[in-house]
Structure 1
């Protein structure tokens, strides 16, 4: 699935089937449902989940918490815009 195809699914009421929890979290975030996006990955402790978790706390504006989760993910804090990071995560996750 391309980024453009993924964005086209945002008009739907549910995320695309057969996608990872991480992609679903990005989908709900893009739909404006930060809480559900966060709830999907909040309990997961793997590095990929930690990376998405960091991004979501950055969206929230909780930079201290985002920093904590970037460290848990072994990732540098993202320096671009939130849109750039969302797209960056999409490309990492869709591989």
Structure 2
């Protein structure tokens, strides 16, 4: 996680990152559109989870709810920052990055 966070000072995510993790990278940098493009056509539960988070960031809670259901995750109610941390830790800690 520390290495991932330190990479946020760069200009782009590491090329070996999968789409959901790269989308989290862009989201942390304020690149909502770039993040959304990475996950909008991905069919995995991880991508759906990040997609849900992105729509929550956008304020579109109805759309976020749809993507949480697709991801099999409960709708987040905490801060956006804590949700980003939770998703990043889960995806990075699982070896799915």
For the aligned pair, the TM-score class normalised by the smaller chain equals over 0.9
Offset of residue 45 of structure 1: 2.0
Q: How many residues align?
A: 93
Which of 86, 89, 92 is matched with 1:91 structurally?
89
- Determine if the alignment matches structure 1 residue 69 to structure 2 residue 49: no
- Mapped to 1, the partners of 2:5 and 2:72 lie a distance apart of 28
**Deviation (angstroms), 1:17:** 3.1
**Is 1:82 aligned to residue 85 of structure 2?**
no
- Show the 5 A alignment for 1:1-95: 3-94=1-92, 95=94
Q: Distance in 2 between the 1:29 and 1:6 partners?
A: 13
- Once residues 42 and 17 of structure 1 are traced to their aligned partners in structure 2, the CA distance between those partners, rounded to angstroms, is 19
Gap runs ≥5 in structure 1? none
Q: Which runs of 5+ in 2 are unaligned?
A: none
Shift, 1:28, TM fit: 0.5
| TM-score with structure 2 setting the length | 0.90
Q: Secondary structure at the match of 1:19?
A: coil
